[in-house]
Amino acid sequence: MFGRLNHVGVATPSIVKSREHYTRLFGAACVGEAFDLPEQGVRVCFVDTGNTQLELIEPLNDASPVAGFLARNPAGGQHHLCFEVTDLNAAITDLTATGARVLGTPRIGAHGTRIVFLHPRDMGGVLVELMETPDGGH
């Protein structure tokens, strides 16, 4: 059901500092400039690591869900794993039939495709994002 790992979300108090760190660490390049997703309360920037991407996530304000994560983890850290799926609706149906809980309803994510998150308690303690691949979508 899950396709390839698309990215690892990393919460950070500063995209600028984190981008410099990961670029230096991996010799990687930022894929585009950082941009705001106000409907999700975050600013994001993607760093290409060769076999996947890191999504650096900074809260836009204290109401952002990422602000809560950073309150518990002030230095930042792994926030989520994002896997591709060809049909988000079918994935949601299959997963909820097995007892997995979906957090909210599908919405447009940072890649411009539909996404949804799965409750970490149902995913071995890991927040999982499902991202509909552009060619598999509705």
Tens digit of each residue's pLDDT (9 = 90 or more) over 72-117: 999 999 999 999 999 999 999 999 999 999 999 999 999 999 999 9
Rounded to an integer, the average pLDDT of 50-78 is: 94
Are the C-beta atoms of 69 and 10 separated by less than 8 Å? no
12-25 tens-digit pLDDT: 999 999 988 888 88
Confidence of residue 44 (pLDDT cuts 50, 70, 90): very high
Say yes or no to pLDDT of 136 above 60.
no
CA 80/CA 135 separation, integer angstroms: 23
Strands 42-48 and 53-59: antiparallel
Question: Which residue is listed with tokens 């108090």?
Answer: 13
pTM recorded for the entire structure: 0.91
In Å, the largest CA–CA distance within the chain is 44
Where are the chain's structural domains? 5-136
Pick one of 1.10.3470.10, 3.40.630.30, 3.10.180.10, 3.80.10.10 as the CATH number of 5-136.
3.10.180.10
